[in-house]
Structure 1
Amino acid sequence: MNSHTSSALLTTSLGDIPLTARGKVRDLYAMGEELLFIATDRISAFDHVLGSGIPEKGKILTQLSHFWFDFVADTVPNHLLASPSAELLAKIAPYESQIEGRSMLVRRAEMFPVECVVRGYISGSGWKDYLATGSVCGIELPKGLRESDKLPCPIFTPAAKINTGGHDENISYGVMVDTIGEHYAAELRRLTFAIYEKASAHAATEGLILADTKFEFGLVDGKIVLADEVLTPDSSRYWPAESYSPGGAQPSFDKQYVRDYLESIHWNKQAPAPSLPDEVISKTREKYLEAFRLITGRSGLEMVR
């Protein structure tokens, strides 16, 4: 086993600091009025956390989120804590090896129970919906689209956040209005399009197509903020522009190698989830790093270590 594949951080423990949630990737700790998000190197596929991690994946995701939070700060504020207090910093200092480069101190937000999904291309669950109904989330699309085709204009396709371990459920904009109210629904849709437009333009300058992505928003002191992670390969579908060829699935900068491997071994997608061979771990890590380098223009290894 090479040095990279043996060094994944799969779980965290911060002594007396209370753990409030352990997600598929992130561990959340209560820091008084604030929260500490730690992105581990866990990786999930088909709604299961796998037995192997991807070394430095959590650092890559965190640094990408920091980049994008800053990039779109003039469009929407975010939940990052700009100036952590000396008391907070002292409290987490003993656990530096677990949090360095992979953590975010954030303000607690009252989260909206919807994910704000925007699609500029037809792929993934949107493609499946289109094949079945000719529409996505109640939005009728032109006939004859091919998988991965660019849409005439981006569409907003929200999803209900379901905390049962399964897929989030695509919903119509009308259901979103019923869930959070017309004012907030309209504003979240506006912000989603604005962020996507700005991020897509930047990605295009780096040879990337941002096919679709999802955002989560919350309220801090009554104001809407962008929260959680943002525009990472875990929450977004990035394609290399030079090889883009509609009519099928596209190469992407995410878990493609992992999904392909799991399909090749005919895993039944039930627990326990299998571990991954070194080659799949290494190739997946390289894809995450490549996305980081392209998006930020920085050397990934220098940034995330």
Structure 2
Amino acid sequence: MERTLLLKGKVKEAYDLGDRLEFQFTDNISVFDKVIPSTIPFKGETLSREGVYWFERADEMGIRTHFLQYLPPAGMLCKKVDILPTNRITPQSRNYLIPLEWICRWYVAGSLFDRVKAGEIAAQDLGFASGHVVKPGEELPEPFLEVSTKLEKTDRLIAKEEALQISGLSPQEYEDARDIVLKIDEDINRSVASRGLIHADGKKELAFDMDRQIMIVDVYGTADEDRFWDRKRYDEGELVDLSKEYVRQYYRQTGYKDRLYQAREEGKAEPAIPALPNDVVGETSRIYIKLFEMITGEKFKAKG
């Protein structure tokens, strides 16, 4: 079977097999939109197997997915969908990637808190009482679900009206998609809570199949796609953001993050991101393996 490289992303590769796609998860790691010149042992395998774990749970819940088969150690075989320009999408289009990303938040974290601080989002927008002082790490009264563009050069958050316009979704299909995202997230929350994790937020991608039925695509619920916190440390008043946050903190401490963002603000050439020291590589690998075990409840044993 002919195997053609279709897409080489920062951490994942997609191969066209004709009527199907093969995804391979690499051991590469990226932060601040920069690929680090270091690889993290077993990172790709843990992400791939986490993706398979959630796809199998989705299938048990009756949710359609594009997943077909796990390809050890770090790959998967998936249904192929078309990538259509938004101006070619119609309410009758089938088998295409819905050009939206669904971001579901259960706690105040990351860019959401930045927007609260900047006055872009009020407490009542998040379900709190008017005048409530929103704090980082605070559990939201209700899930906060947003959509962003998916196929533009820079993704941007959009309102429901524009989402309907560019995606080909009917108002009912939009609500169906929202229900699927929430159902999946509720399952993630319940599942990882029993193993000492908090699922703070995550993102999902959807597509229509050949029958114009919604299915979940790409991967989700992984250490790279979602934010997980250590429950014990959270209860002690500390936010410990597992997985890549450890690496982000390393580059903050070395001053690289500040130099990078200053160069971007000033329109100057971006400084190359340095490789990680061996001890940081080792600890990062350990974190990815530990998180795999906490997400899946399975002891990690390499299949490669």
What interval of TM-score do these two structures reach, taking the shorter chain for normalisation? 0.7 to 0.9
> Counterpart amino acid of 1:185?
Y
Aligned to 1:223: 213
Do residues 124 (structure 1) and 110 (structure 2) align? yes
> What 5-or-longer segments of structure 2 have no aligned partner?
82-95, 261-269
Question: Matched residue of 1:237: which SS?
Answer: strand
2:103 corresponds to which letter in structure 1?
V
Aligned residue among 158, 167, 172 for 2:159: 172
| Structure 1 position 243 matched with structure 2 position 233 | yes
Alpha-carbon RMSD: 2.4
Conserved? CA contact 2:126–2:141, under 8 Å: no
Aligned-residue offset at 1:58: 0.6
Once the two structures are overlaid, the 10-residue window that deviates more, 73-82 or 52-61, is 73-82
Equivalent-residue separation in structure 2 for 1:75 and 1:244 (angstroms)? 33
1:190 equivalent in structure 2: 179
The one-letter code matched in structure 2 to 1:149 is: E
Separation of aligned partners in 2, 1:111 and 1:272: 34
C-alpha distance in 1 between matches for 2:303 and 2:125: 40
For residue 100 of structure 2, what is the amino acid of its counterpart? V
Assess, with a 3 A threshold, how the Cα gap between structure 1 residues 117 and 304 changes in structure 2: closer, same or farther.
farther
Report if aligned partners of 2:12, 2:26 keep a CA contact under 8 Å in 1: yes
1:102 counterpart = 2:71? no
Q: Cα deviations across residues 257-304 of structure 1 (Å, max 9, x unaligned)?
A: 21011112222333532211111111111111111111212111x154
The answer to whether structure 1 residue 276 and structure 2 residue 263 are counterparts is: no
**Equivalents in 2 of 1:210, 1:147: separation in Å?**
15
1:157 and 2:143 aligned = no
User: 1:204 maps to which residue?
Assistant: 193
Partners of 2:235 and 2:53 lie apart in 1 by 29
1:79 to 33, 48, 66: 66
- Tell me the amino acid that sits aligned with residue 157 of structure 1: E
AA of the residue aligned to 1:200: N
CA–CA distance in structure 2, aligned partners of residues 101 and 117 of structure 1 = 29
Q: How far is the alpha carbon of 1:163 from its aligned partner?
A: 4.8
TM-score (norm 1): 0.82
Normalized against structure 2, the TM-score is what?
A: 0.83
CA distance in structure 2 between the aligned counterparts of 1:112 and 1:140, rounded to whole angstroms: 26
Unmatched runs of 5 consecutive residues or more in structure 1: 1-13, 85-98
Q: Does 1:213 align with 2:202?
A: yes
* Structure 1 pair 282–208 and aligned structure 2 pair: CA distance change class (3 A): same
Q: CA deviation at 1:22?
A: 0.6
8 Å Cα contact 1:43/1:50 also seen in 2? yes
Deviations 1:27-59 (A, max 9, x none): 111101111110111111001111111111110
Shift of 1:184: 2.8
Identity %: 27
Give, as a single letter, the amino acid of the residue that structure 2 aligns with 1:65: G
In the alignment of these two chains, the number of paired residues is 272
SS of the aligned residue for 1:133 comes to coil
Cα distance in 1 for partners of 2:253, 2:246 equals 10
For 1:125 and 1:170, locate their aligned partners in 2 and report how far apart those are by CA, in whole Å.
12
| Structure-2 residue corresponding to 1:3 | none
Q: Distance in 1 between matches of 2:207 and 2:236?
A: 35
